[in-house]
A and B are shown apart, each in its own frame.
Chain A
């Protein structure tokens, strides 16, 4: 039984009427593409935005726009209040407290922030408090073969800078994590365990509880890439007991340019900064500076105020529906997707399917037909999917393909969207000369 998200299946899925009503909140979904109504199945890459989110950003710029955390005027105070209330909203959304939420540009920046802060600690920055983060030769960083490049390359670079060794939990031919190899992979040398909550290629949910327990047993830090889970599943970072978690706003109804790093408070307060400059200091002389506590220590320079406020609006939108119901809706769509794909001759679904917890996302390979060609065929019908390696080259290589075609749903997706995709795949295969 996969851990961590067991409650989602009990919630009531969204009714067709509810989905129809909420779709009218998304202006982009109403358009025609190449003469067909848009079938948007690329939410794993980025989501569409509801009017309330767009309005929140516009309202901020029209009525309260000013610099936060400085200035004595009324607008500055209102902007600061909105900005910090947004932090509280996001904290509540993931089960954290506000001082544990650091704004970033996106999840990629969040992971780089952790990796560079660890690197700075390893150079002695942060003093005795940061000693727990120091790594070097002989230490190990553990990731998985499933990872998006964003949760791989920052660790490769950290290993290269510090002399630590990067190791990974491999997947089997089916795309399942080789948990039987954990005994050899997690040990006293392991200092960081970084893994994705939900695979952006396979749509499968990682065994968070097990991996956290193994990391805890050896005192390693746990970093969770929640990019594909925060938008689609109820997320409680305390219940999952991870040390750090990152996600991106644009995948969960918010604009681009805003992301979130969650860090356990005691860890964030001990971690030296990554980006430095204005707004993150207490006292500065020409020789040195003292830093604010978290989260402001990690927010140098003018912040993404409008985007943070818009992300809070996105979270209000999601909370009004209920993340358990979003998850139930997408579980049904995911099942329709995999059942339908399994019935099409010549289609290989990447990753395990039977008896596995998945979100509404599936990637396929059609031997003999390149994903770009299939994607082009689908686009001619107004069906938007992702093609290529989805920033996960090692996983594709391991599964014996160079690219795949990915359909990914969201709360506004319908069974008709899935059916249009399934028909498009079947017709596309016929168009390109049938399965090989």
Chain B
């Protein structure tokens, strides 16, 4: 597979076109807005948490490239239904994967389908695109505590 095909896998393009969790709710448990000033990509991401500490849903809105949009969608799909305590290890694992320049195998147990974004880690200029939603989730998570 070429690097370009690795970057834009079918799963990524599908998520970019039909994003999971798209659309904001009125009263989220926590919310974060992030902006990538170099390209203008923007995201508002919300965590919605039930009383028992389970994340019922991640909701978000934003605009940007296929990488940033699919990444947020894959995050939302991955996080839905998880205990809040399990989010940070997954964010850490995703960041490690994205900073690896394609040198390490992604941890699919932790990242699920989001491991597909490992192809983007070879493109240094696109790492920030992929990280945008995850940085928003981390920021929102910190606000929960």
Contact = CB atoms under 8 A, between A and B. Distances in A.
Interface of A: 370-373, 376-377, 380, 387-389, 393, 396, 402-403, 431-433
A370 B2 contact: no
A393 B4 contact: no
B123 A376 contact: yes
A433 B8 CA distance: 11
A45 B45 CA distance: 33
Nearest to B42: A402
11 contacts: A370-B64, A372-B41, A372-B65, A372-B67, A372-B129, A373-B65, A373-B66, A380-B4, A387-B39, A432-B8, A432-B66
Nearest to B69: A370
Contacts, number: 44
B39 A372 contact: yes
Nearest to B64: A370
Interface in B1-20: 2-4, 7-8, 13, 17
Contact of A402 (B2, B7, B63): B63
B57 to A, nearest CB: 25
B126 A376 contact: yes
Interface of B: 2-4, 7-8, 13, 17, 38-42, 63-67, 123, 126, 129
A370 B16 CA distance: 11
A366 to B, nearest CB: 12
A388 B38 contact: yes
A153 to B, nearest CB: 14
B40 A388 contact: yes
A433 B40 contact: no
Contacts of B38: 388
B40 A393 contact: yes
Given A387-B39, A388-B39, 19 more contacts: A370-B65, A370-B66, A371-B39, A372-B39, A372-B41, A372-B67, A372-B129, A373-B66, A373-B67, A376-B4, A376-B123, A380-B4, A389-B39, A389-B40, A393-B40, A402-B40, A402-B42, A432-B13, A432-B66
A373 B39 contact: no
Contact of A403 (B39, B66, B126): B39
Nearest to A431: B8
Contacts of B39: 371-372, 387-389, 403
Nearest to A388: B39
Contacts of A389: 39-40
Contacts of A387: 39
Most buried by B among A387, A393, A403: A403
Nearest to B63: A402
Nearest to B66: A373
